[in-house]
């Protein structure tokens, strides 16, 4: 207890004792009249003394119950960790063998095995087996049931007597996020109306045609046409040969389906909506919409064997570079990019280009600020390591200089390591880039390689105002790629938006 407070406490006791003694003496010698007479100076003095004692007592009580902030002595000050080199010579051979054994085990983590298996997926059955092997605690609820349900609906034993929704291409200027989110809405409508969704391969009219070179992804009878089937798994075993005017409905745009289809864009198929309501009776409509969007994109964006092979080729090629910022020299050096990316790495997709017409663009510095805050709160599970994807080359120069000076103390790495791919970039819209860079299919594969490399990361920093960022979030969840899967946080750098908002 503070010595000053103890001294005040005893002064109060002394004052109370003196007052009590004085009142007793006064009453005994002259009666209580003097003490109670307001005209009597002795009575006034008694009242003043009593008031002072009460005030002192209250002040002492308050002081006794209030902590006083004091400057800590040097013996209690925070101390920094010692920077030691830990040379190999300090260890015995037995200790070296022990360390090597531990590092070998660490190189064979479930995360790395899962990612390497992912890059070798080939065929619809392989995809279903992979998803069924995931830990239920790291993927959205009912993911395995939902992916199986969609597949069985779209791949019936027979296409005879089936009803169809045939989807056309909409606009070339739409990005890949818009194409797949829009197609996911229509897939939900098809399932709701017990119809099978098909791409319209006829007349170069399939959704997303502008991402593919002519002659790739056609279907029986339309072999010379192009479609997303060039890179992605077919969405159905049925084809346009099963379609007649009587058994089909054509959809010309994503968010304006014909009145003949029950429901609205974004509608959740009743079987899946009912199942989710059993698990979460109070789930918000936008929450259910976002869940379905995740499931539909997870189905539609499964790469086929050839598409995955090309993406893996690009991922493992010597086309990747990393920059490290140094506090003293600010020099930049190339280092090896591991496959897969290290655990605890951040994905930072910085959407610029034509997105400026829809939202305020977020600078690279904001991404790193958010990462710094997260690292400070979670120093044992995160690194100053990030994979950057963007269409804006200026972002990489900004990354080299933002927070280049390391702090005097840090609970993570001293410097940032930024990984990125050396692919063509143009700070414009998707169609502008496709026109500029030649082979559309090859450019699309390079973008998909960027997307899947982002899925290797355990942590995601982005803005939901970008459809590409939303796809990163949706696919990491339903495909369970990074450590922790859907349980790992998505850190928003733009204006806050509800998960279910947007297209």
**What is the third-level CATH fold of 305-492?**
Rossmann fold (3.40.50)
From 167, 155, 89, 96, select the one nearest 128 (Cα to Cα).
Answer: 155
Query: What stretch(es) of the chain map to CATH 3.40.50?
Result: 305-492
Report pTM: 0.81
Query: What separation in angstroms does the CA of 130 have from each of 116, 142, 271, 294?
Result: 12, 15, 23, 17
pLDDT of residue 61: 54
DSSP letters, 295-363, are: HHHHHHT-B-HHHHHHHHHHHHSS-EEEEE--TTT---------SSPPTTPEEEEE--GGGGGTSPPPP
Q: Which strands sit side by side in the sheet containing 417-421, from one edge to the other?
A: 320-324, 417-421, 385-390, 346-350, 459-462, 490-492
From 142, 140, 128, 137, select the one nearest 110 (Cα to Cα).
Answer: 137
**Would you state the structure tokens that stand for residue 321, as one six-digit string?**
């570079």
Walk along the chain (503 residues) and give the pLDDT tens digit of each residue.
455 656 566 566 666 665 555 555 455 554 444 444 545 555 555 555 556 555 655 655 555 455 455 555 555 555 667 888 899 999 999 999 999 888 776 567 889 999 999 999 999 999 999 999 999 999 999 999 999 999 999 999 999 999 999 999 988 888 899 999 999 999 999 999 999 999 999 989 999 999 999 999 988 888 889 999 999 999 999 999 999 999 999 998 776 667 778 776 667 999 999 999 999 999 999 899 999 999 999 999 999 999 999 999 999 987 777 776 655 555 566 677 889 999 999 999 997 665 645 567 788 889 999 999 999 888 888 888 999 999 888 888 888 777 656 555 566 777 788 899 889 998 888 888 899 998 999 999 999 999 999 999 999 999 888 889 999 999 999 999 987 789 999 999 987 664 445 55
pLDDT of residue 499: 47
Q: Which strands sit side by side in the sheet containing 196-199, from one edge to the other?
A: 196-199, 164-167, 248-251
Dihedral in degrees, nearest 10, Cα atoms 23, 27, 31, 34? -10
Alpha carbon distance 132, 441 (integer Å): 30
Output the furthest CA–CA distance in the chain (Å, rounded). Answer: 125
pLDDT of residue 17: 62
**Would you state the structure tokens that stand for residue 332, as one six-digit string?**
């930049």
Does the N-terminal peptide bond of residue 340 adopt cis geometry, omega within 30 degrees of 0? yes
Question: Could you tell me how far CA 242 lies from the centroid of its own chain?
Answer: 41
Residue owning tokens 């938006």: 497
Residue owning tokens 């655990």: 343
């Amino acid at each position: 207890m503070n010595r000053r407070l103890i001294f005040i406490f005893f002064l109060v006791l002394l004052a109370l004792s003196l007052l009590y003694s004085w009142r007793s003496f006064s009453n005994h010698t002259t009666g209580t009249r003097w003490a109670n007479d307001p005209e009597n100076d002795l009575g006034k003095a008694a009242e003043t003394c009593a008031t002072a004692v009460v005030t002192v007592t209250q002040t002492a009580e308050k002081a006794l119950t209030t902590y006083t902030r004091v400057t800590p002595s040097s013996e209690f000050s925070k101390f920094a960790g010692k920077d030691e080199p830990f040379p190999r010579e300090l260890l015995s051979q037995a200790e070296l063998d022990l360390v090597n054994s531990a590092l070998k085990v660490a190189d064979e983590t479930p995360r790395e095995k899962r990612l390497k298996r992912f890059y070798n997926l080939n065929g619809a059955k392989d995809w279903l087996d992979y998803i069924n092997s995931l830990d239920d605690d790291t993927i959205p609820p009912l993911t395995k049931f939902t992916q199986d349900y969609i597949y069985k609906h779209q791949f019936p034993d027979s296409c005879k007597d089936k009803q169809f929704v045939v989807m056309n291409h909409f606009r070339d200027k739409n990005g890949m996020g818009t194409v797949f989110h829009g197609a996911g809405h229509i897939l939900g409508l098809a399932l709701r109306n017990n119809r099978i969704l098909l791409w319209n391969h006829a007349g170069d009219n399939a959704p997303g045609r502008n991402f593919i070179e002519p002659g790739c992804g056609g279907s029986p009878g339309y072999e010379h046409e192009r479609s997303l089937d060039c890179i992605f798994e077919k969405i159905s075993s049925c084809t346009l040969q099963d379609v007649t005017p009587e058994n089909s409905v054509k959809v010309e745009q994503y968010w304006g389906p014909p009145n003949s289809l029950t429901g609205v864009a974004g509608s959740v198929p009743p079987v899946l909506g009912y199942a989710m309501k059993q698990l979460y009776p109070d789930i918000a409509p936008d929450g259910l919409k976002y869940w379905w969007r995740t499931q539909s994109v997870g189905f539609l964006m499964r790469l086929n064997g050839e598409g995955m092979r090309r993406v893996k080729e690009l991922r493992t090629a010597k086309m990747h570079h990393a920059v490290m910022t140094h506090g003293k020299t600010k020099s930049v050096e190339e280092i090896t990019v591991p496959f897969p990316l290290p655990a605890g790495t951040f994905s930072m997709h910085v959407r610029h280009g034509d997105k400026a017409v829809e939202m305020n663009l977020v600078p690279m510095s904001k991404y790193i600020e958010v990462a710094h805050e997260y690292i400070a709160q979670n120093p044992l599970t995160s690194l100053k390591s990030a994979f950057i994807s963007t269409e804006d080359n200026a972002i990489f120069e900004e990354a080299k200089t933002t927070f280049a000076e390391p702090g005097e103390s840090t609970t993570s790495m001293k410097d940032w390591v930024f990984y990125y791919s050396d692919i063509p970039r143009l700070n414009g819209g998707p169609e502008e880039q496709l026109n500029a860079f030649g082979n559309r299919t090859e450019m699309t594969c390079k973008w998909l390689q960027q997307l899947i490399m982002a899925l290797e990361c355990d942590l995601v920093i982005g803005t939901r105002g970008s459809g590409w960022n939303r796809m990163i979030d949706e696919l990491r969840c339903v495909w369970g790629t990074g450590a922790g899967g859907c349980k790992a946080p998505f850190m928003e750098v733009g204006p806050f938006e509800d998960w279910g908002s947007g297209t």
